[in-house]
Amino acid sequence: MIKYLTGLIVAALVTAASIAAPAPDERMEDAALEVRARGLYVQLRCVICQSQSIDESNAHLAVDMRAVVRTRLEAGDSDQEILDYMQARYGDYVLMMPPFQRNTLLLWLSPLLVLLLGGGFAVLYVRRQSGHTPESVDDEDEARVAALLDEEGQS
Amino acid sequence: VNRFLSFLPLAFFLLLTVYFALGLREDPSEIPSQLIDEPLPSFDLAPIEGLEQGLSNRDLIGQVSLLNVFGSWCPPCAIEHPMLMQISRSGQVPIYGIDWKDEPGAGARWLERHGNPYVRVGDDEAGTLAIDLGLTGAPETFLVDREGRVRYRHVGVITEADWRDTLQPMIEELQTR
């Protein structure tokens, strides 16, 4: 079962790596620019395919967006300028990583919130448990335990 | 207090359920346009094969107009087309067209077959203007005011009801200013 599962996960990872969409003819001549282009593709969302970046999608719009990224790179834009360019046209949604701002505060801080909440519960729970133990075992109990153990002949 | 505390996770769960249930009602494919109340990006598109005039953003200045993105490859555009013809015949507002990612000649043939509701049509074969407009699909229609600013964006087919209840009143309002 575990073997089967591992196999499945490996298969999923391998296909995930191989489905990167940019076609060979999309490769930029300048290797450094190509690296930056790939870095930008994964940061930009394909706006018509929900949870895919334009690096993963072959939707015609994703293909066109990659072309725009390359044009801007060749024009000498910085990575941030290109992200801003897309954000100005498609909004925050186009960024795979939501910006940290007022309306995303809860989104960003919720893991911390959950940690604090869960941690608080855990601390309370453990405290209560450890608080109870010494109370419940008094001398009388210990005497009974000793007696029982004696009976079993394994003191 | 302990009783109350033990119900907290359940309450939290219910809260999240309500929140996510509300989220299900929203359409994630609808991204708000960043162009509302902004000027159109400047562009100067070549005419499509078979037509004389291309389209520039300056053509849309001076009167309230609609800017409609279509393609001969786009089935919903064919559904929308009769409505555009009707609007065009009514003479209430000029419609400008952007032929998005069409094969050379395909757009012109399509207009010949179905009729041409557009005053001018620009050819965006490469799809670069589409990205400048923040386009997510076709058809998509922008309502542009006299100053060339986008006032409204309609995603998808303009139905009779969309025209009557939304676009027409907005156009009339903008035209009286």
Are A31 and A38 in contact, with CB atoms under 8 Å apart? no
**CB distance B28–A50 less than 8 Å?**
yes
Tell me if residue B120 falls in helix, strand or coil.
strand
Mean pLDDT to the nearest integer, B58-81: 95
- For chain B, report the end-to-end CA distance as a whole number of angstroms: 64
- Give dist(CA A147, CA A141) in Å, integer: 10
Interface test with B, best of A45, A52, A61, A128 (most B CBs within 10 A): A61
pLDDT of res. B54: 94
Assess B39–A contact: CB distance below 8 Å, yes or no.
Answer: no
- Give dist(CA A38, CA A56) in Å, integer: 11
**In this complex, which of B31, B126, B132 lies closest to A91 when CB atoms are compared?**
B31
Q: What is the mean pLDDT of chain B?
A: 92
In A, which residues are within 8 Å of B3 by CB distance? Answer: none
Give the chain B residue whose CA is nearest to the CA of A114.
B12
Distance of CA B67 to the CA centre of its chain: 8
The least confident of A74-78, A124-128, B76-80 is A124-128
pLDDT of res. A154: 59
Nearest-Cα distance to chain A for B91, in Å, is 31
Based on the number of CB atoms within 10 Å of its own CB, is A47 exposed (0-12), middle (13-18) or buried (19 or more)? buried
**CB distance B5–A65 less than 8 Å?**
no
User: With 90 as the cut, is the pLDDT of residue A5 above it?
Assistant: no
pLDDT of res. A3: 74
Integer Rg of chain A from CA = 29
Tens of pLDDT, residue by residue over B94-123, are: 999 999 999 999 999 999 999 999 999 999
Contact pairs from chain A to chain B, CB under 8 Å: 45
pLDDT of res. A135: 59
Under DSSP, the state recorded for A42 is T
**CB distance B128–A89 less than 8 Å?**
no
Tens of pLDDT, residue by residue over B29-49, are: 678 889 999 999 999 999 998
Angle between helices A105-136 and B2-24 (to 10 degrees): 160
Going by their DSSP bridges, the two strands B140-144 and B150-155 should be labelled as: antiparallel
pLDDT of res. A17: 55
